[in-house]
Amino acid sequence: MTKRAHKPSSGPLAPGQSGPLPRSVLERLARYQQIATRAAEDGLSHISSAHLASLVAVDPTMVRKDMAAAAIAGRPKVGYFIGDILGRLGGVLGLTERRDAILIGCGDLGSALARYAGFSRLGLRIVGIFDTDHSKVGRTVGEHLVLPMEKCKSVTHIFGAKLAILAVPARAAQGLTDSLVSLGIRGIWNFAPVDLLVPPEVIVRNENLALGLAQFLHQIRHQSLARPRP
């Protein structure tokens, strides 16, 4: 089995071109979708490119290009119909399809992820959570019963799950990843602070909290140093 370190997709995507969207575009579209969802909850029917741009911190021209690429048309002086944004972006982002996932690791982070109710609104359903620590097996976390790893194969096959959320220590991540791939998992949302080696057909999304915190604190420090003292 050929393995590679996962690297995110990059490069522009032309209108009508098939293939994965660049991460920067995906992040903007996801933010538009979240803003439109809140606007709909507030009873609004339309939203302007200028308003979206101000909230996402981009130029209105960028918003219009993103919307055009997603086949969402606006009206001058009216803006975009929120129903169009939600309907179209829901399909582009894959939020209209229900996908089943398993969660590995029931520590503090894994337990928080298991309890998060927002996944269901995004089309993700956790069908089983597992841990190698037998002291945690049998506990109830949210709506889930923690199962031993020995049950992972049967649960994965019963539900046909192709996605896994990995919230385990770095030292255990690669071995568990190898096992998950052998079970047919084709997408891994990785919260372990380590780069995973996977076959080319497996997609990995890394959420390195320590790295994110370090970048955040670095920016805060330099902003503080650059700010004139009173």
65 and 31 share a domain?
yes
149 and 200 share a domain?
yes
- Decide if 102 contacts 161 (C-beta within 8 A): yes
Does residue 172 have a pLDDT over 50? yes
Quote the domain boundaries for residue 207: 99-211
103 and 207 share a domain?
yes
* Structural domain contains residue 188: yes
Single out the residue of 198, 208, 192 nearest to residue 178, CA to CA.
Answer: 198
- Could you count the other beta carbons within 10 Å of the beta carbon of residue 10? 9
DSSP result, 162-221 = -EEEE-S-HHHHHHHHHHHHHTT--EEEE-SSSPPEE-TT-EEEE--HHHHHHHHHHHHH
Does residue 85 have a pLDDT over 60? yes
In this predicted model, what pLDDT tens digit does every residue of 92-122 receive, in sequence order?
Answer: 887 778 899 999 999 999 999 999 988 888 8
* Structural domain contains residue 4: no
The residues facing 203 across adjacent strands are: 187
* pLDDT for res 36: 92
84 and 136 share a domain?
no
The reply to whether the predicted model has a pTM over 0.85 is no
Q: Which CATH number characterizes residue 58's domain?
A: 1.10.10.10
121 and 151 share a domain?
yes
pLDDT band at 226 (very low <50, low <70, confident <90, very high): low
70 and 115 share a domain?
no
Show which of 69, 92, 115 is a domain's final residue: 92
* pLDDT for res 227: 63
pLDDT band at 4 (very low <50, low <70, confident <90, very high): low
- Decide if 192 contacts 166 (C-beta within 8 A): yes
Indicate the average pLDDT of the chain.
86
Alpha-carbon gap, residue 98 to 103, rounded angstroms? 16
Q: Per the structure, how many domains does the chain have?
A: 2
120 and 190 share a domain?
yes
Does residue 9 have a pLDDT over 50? no
pLDDT: which is higher, 167 or 213:
167
- What backbone torsions phi and psi does residue 47 show, to the nearest 5 degrees? -145, 140
* pLDDT for res 6: 53
Alpha-carbon gap, residue 110 to 132, rounded angstroms? 13
* pLDDT for res 117: 87
Single out the residue of 196, 145, 144, 137 nearest to residue 166, CA to CA.
Answer: 196
* Structural domain contains residue 216: no
Residues 6+ apart with CB under 8 A from 34: none
Pick the most confident of 29-38, 113-122, 182-191: 182-191
Alpha-carbon gap, residue 176 to 156, rounded angstroms? 14
* Structural domain contains residue 222: no
108 and 123 share a domain?
yes
Q: Give percent above pLDDT 90 in the chain.
A: 60
Q: Give percent above pLDDT 70 in the chain.
A: 88
In this predicted model, what pLDDT tens digit does every residue of 192-212 receive, in sequence order?
Answer: 999 999 999 999 999 887 777
* Structural domain contains residue 69: yes
* Structural domain contains residue 201: yes
* Structural domain contains residue 182: yes
Alpha-carbon gap, residue 45 to 111, rounded angstroms? 37
* Structural domain contains residue 175: yes
Q: Which CATH number characterizes residue 133's domain?
A: 3.40.50.720
